[in-house]
Structure 1
């Protein structure tokens, strides 16, 4: 009956080190587990345990993605773990990956990861970068082989060099955006005056620019163009500004530098990217600490950029 089946499957998990609370939580999150047959579930747990997963590892993996227990042992779990072991060279590395991304053993990697990696190698992507993609963004390599082939072709045709680091990064970014989302972001950048060539240049320099939300793109461009007076096209050459927090990084730095430029105490040819990419310590030493005695305003601007942005813009134009 149902009660005896529940008792048996609960006992199975407890035998693998799950506490009563962990089992209850697991069953509430994944009700299908209550109906698992012991003779089907046990070999899966046996295999994962023999592969090197500890009780703690299994608890984390199943808590994050209990649907692993629905996958075929022979057609999914075993081949997936063996494929990952072949790529990462040891079981420990596989376990680390699976704990972070349990979905990597939820599907037959022979239909995704294997052909996708072969394709990247065919294009000339370095093995170290492929493995970095597998460890950091495995979802990209889990895309079906046909769709992945189209994505790689699109990125290649944009002019990305397979030998450079941004090739893999661009594939990851592009794969995560629907066609509609891509077009909305492209149209927004065009609205701010970027040409298609400038958009492509920015994307090639910093693929993650397309991850920025439309709201953030709008806010950054509005601040840099309308409040700070930067040329929209020039910003396309420095897409890094889209990656930092506007309020906590870009805005205070721009306000301080613009103020110092108005006082003629820093070089006029200072580029946007040169001070945006500086470390916190270097920026403070070069633009805040150096001038705070003669111009105490820099401390206020750097510490309360958001509150002072509008007031400062009026001060500059007056």
Structure 2
């Protein structure tokens, strides 16, 4: 009897387990939230095939994007792409946006995207500008218009006052600008005000270097003190500019840049004076500083002390201004068409229009190839060849009249 009862119990357990297995299996198949992945004629899942053939993604990019979005028909993705095209986006731009934010393909263009575009156009974004910005950072299309985009706009307008200024800031800062960033900006702006920086200069910094104002407040405050200790006047535009530029540079990077000037022969007080006069020297790359000092010292024969007094020369483009313009002046000097006592530095500081009228157009009959000198010298290969022929800290060229 005992064996019979055990056998019956065992049979019941097997049947129960079988029923449970069948129930789970059927439940899985009938789950409305789990849909089978459809396959296209090319053998890829439909989503992957669409991303490749309609959006221009590579196979690898499409497979990666398909991990974040799935769809069985092209209706909604097609409507999103058509919407973006209607706002002037090119297929290349759309492809880039989808590669970065594939989830956009399943959004409702009329309910979600259109109101955002309408608002952004209303505050002053032009269609080409907006297309470029969204291509660079498509996160704006995923943010809530009411809870993120509009509060961000209102906050910035309260500081910079005009729509044009807000647009300028957002082009530089992007839309990933949350409450923590606003707290930092509030604190850092208050620090500038506490040190007597005029409001117009604060607005200028917000417009041109907004990233510096969302750095940690303790770092920003420390940089304000350092700039003040260097003798900068908070009432001058260069004070706020220098603070923001130093804040955007790592200390080690700053030290390497200053060391380059020292190796070139600039004294400590000359470097300080140079930074006061033109703080943008601080954001030049190390390579640009080296190449600029090399050209000014070894090609033009300028002394380091003179360069420190005229730091704007370092900020000019070597390829587009310094090398071609200097070459033209040398040609004109060799032909005796201009006075040998010409102030070369002042000539290089002219506007493009002023230089062309004074040194190119005026002498085009005597030397028709002057325009070609500019075109050839701007050529990357020629510029690179000229750079290879210069030796940093090498023999200086004969000095010109300054």
Scaled by the length of structure 1, what TM-score is found?
A: 0.71
Output the CA distance in 2 between the equivalents of 1:182 and 1:168. 17
Output the CA distance in 1 between the equivalents of 2:225 and 2:131. 40
Deviations 1:55-80 (A, max 9, x none): 96987654432334666888754543
Evaluate the alpha carbon distance shift between residue 298 and residue 78 of structure 1 in structure 2; reply closer, same or farther with a 3 A threshold: closer
Structure-1 residue corresponding to 2:193: 121
Structure-1 residue corresponding to 2:167: 96
Residue 30 (structure 1) aligned with residue 104 (structure 2): no
For residues 260-299 of structure 1, what are the structure 2 equivalents within 5 Å? Answer: 260=333, 266=339, 268=341, 273-284=345-356, 286=358, 299=370
Deviations 1:128-184 (A, max 9, x none): 232232233322222232322222222222222222222232233222222222121
Structure-2 residue corresponding to 1:107: 178
Q: Point out the structure with max Rg over C-alpha.
A: 2
1:186 to 258, 266, 277: 258
Structure-2 residue corresponding to 1:226: 298
Structure-2 residue corresponding to 1:83: 155
Output the CA distance in 1 between the equivalents of 2:151 and 2:371. 60
Assess if the C-alpha contact under 8 Å between 1:228 and 1:258 holds in 2: no
Residue 135 (structure 1) aligned with residue 207 (structure 2): yes
Assess if the C-alpha contact under 8 Å between 2:297 and 2:396 holds in 1: no
**Structure (1/2) with the larger helix percentage:** 1
Assess if the C-alpha contact under 8 Å between 2:201 and 2:237 holds in 1: yes
Output the CA distance in 2 between the equivalents of 1:315 and 1:88. 48
Instruction: Mark the runs of 5 or more structure 1 residues left unpaired by the alignment.
Output: none
Output the CA distance in 2 between the equivalents of 1:141 and 1:16. 39
Assess if the C-alpha contact under 8 Å between 1:291 and 1:298 holds in 2: no
Instruction: Mark the runs of 5 or more structure 2 residues left unpaired by the alignment.
Output: 1-32, 37-68, 390-394
Tell me the CA shift for residue 238 of structure 1.
0.8
Evaluate the alpha carbon distance shift between residue 27 and residue 171 of structure 1 in structure 2; reply closer, same or farther with a 3 A threshold: same
Residue 244 (structure 1) aligned with residue 316 (structure 2): yes
RMSD: 5.0
Structure-2 residue corresponding to 1:171: 243
Evaluate the alpha carbon distance shift between residue 297 and residue 144 of structure 1 in structure 2; reply closer, same or farther with a 3 A threshold: same
Output the CA distance in 2 between the equivalents of 1:177 and 1:154. 14
Output the CA distance in 1 between the equivalents of 2:325 and 2:292. 13
Paired residues in the alignment total 309
Output the CA distance in 2 between the equivalents of 1:46 and 1:285. 49
Tell me the CA shift for residue 225 of structure 1.
1.9
Assess if the C-alpha contact under 8 Å between 1:166 and 1:207 holds in 2: yes
Tell me the CA shift for residue 88 of structure 1.
3.9
Tell me the CA shift for residue 26 of structure 1.
3.6
Evaluate the alpha carbon distance shift between residue 240 and residue 69 of structure 1 in structure 2; reply closer, same or farther with a 3 A threshold: same
Scaled by the length of structure 2, what TM-score is found?
A: 0.58
Output the CA distance in 2 between the equivalents of 1:19 and 1:286. 47
Structure-2 residue corresponding to 1:153: 225
Evaluate the alpha carbon distance shift between residue 125 and residue 14 of structure 1 in structure 2; reply closer, same or farther with a 3 A threshold: same
Output the CA distance in 1 between the equivalents of 2:94 and 2:121. 17
- Equivalent position SS for 1:177: coil
